[in-house]
Amino acid sequence: MLKRISFIIAALCMVQLSLAQPTLPIAKSEEVKPLTELHSEKLRKLLKTELCNNPTWKRLINNKKMTVGLVDLSDLNNVRYAGINDDHMMYAASLPKIAILLAAMDAMEEGVLEETPEVIEDLTLMIRKSNNQASTRMIDRLGYDRIEATLRNPKYKLYDEEEGGGLWVGKRYAAGGLRHPEPMKGLSHAATTRQVSNFYYMLAMGELVSKERSEQMLEIMVDPGLHHKFVNTLDRIAPKAKLYRKSGSWRNYHSDSALVWGPNRRYIIVVLVDDAYGEQIMRRVVRPLENVIKKSHQL
């Protein structure tokens, strides 16, 4: 009987979710709570159990070669966050290009960077196609100091040594040029799943630079041009959902991140993996992460 009631409640929540689909960024009626205050221990336990049911993923998690961040946005009055190894910083290849996007928007808002058609085109190529040449041009326009200052800005705190580091861009996406490695591990392109989750959460809430700039970033990040990893699975199971996404790969390092916004599903997922089969892991992990959210609604 209790299981039946739980199923009915979960079904009603899904119906309500599909009928009342707010637009992004969210129009807020009160102050947005920091992601650090939205940690759900129940969600974390379900997340760990679900992932560790897979022996390979369990091994990777135990060796800190797989990190995960999950934000449940189903109920915007009760946003919940959970992570596994989420303060463990890893090399993230092209995923940290979202930090360049933020730094560019911040610089344009302050009038430090001119908002030209060429700049907008490069930002779009950098995110949707992960174009390295466009990314390098943006780094050269901004400079490492500007990017670092944006990430360390107390308004965002997307890189913070006390939180395990976070997002970092310290090398051009090209063969030449000086490096500006992050101070904890000396990585050039780094991320933690917690801070990437935080990026998407603030973006969804209109908290990155301004509501207008957040909306502009969302427009650039929607409809990814590369249909692999998360997107390969989401194209099949959520064809009507809008996907805001950035991924990265280099050698054994694979990363993906997405804000999924559509009928019957609203969440943020971020996964970093150091494994030769990381591409396949990214495809396979989407359904279990969705199962975690569904199970949490039934408890």
pLDDT digits (tens, 9 = 90+) for 191-219: 999 999 999 999 999 999 999 999 999 99
Residues of the chain with pLDDT under 70: 1-20
Residues 236, 90, 208, CA angle at the centre, nearest 5°? Answer: 70
What pTM, to 2 d.p., does this model score?
Answer: 0.93
> Quick one: residue 276, left, alpha or beta (phi over 0 = left, psi -120 to 50 = alpha)?
alpha
Q: Cβ neighbours of residue 97 under 8 Å, at least 6 residues apart?
A: 126, 127, 130, 135, 169, 173, 246, 248
Give the span between the Cα atoms of 22 and 52, in whole angstroms. 34
Of 227, 244, 245, the C-alpha closest to 236 is 227
| Superfamily in which the 2-298 domain is placed by CATH | DD-peptidase/beta-lactamase superfamily (3.40.710.10)
Alpha carbon distances (Å) from 141 to 52, 133, 145: 44, 12, 11
Q: Cβ neighbours of residue 280 under 8 Å, at least 6 residues apart?
A: none
Provide the residue ranges of all domains of the chain, joining segments of one domain with +: 2-298
pLDDT on residue 4: 53
Average pLDDT of the chain, as a whole number: 93
pLDDT on residue 20: 61
Helices (DSSP H) in 55-179: which residue ranges?
55-62, 97-109, 117-128, 132-142, 144-152
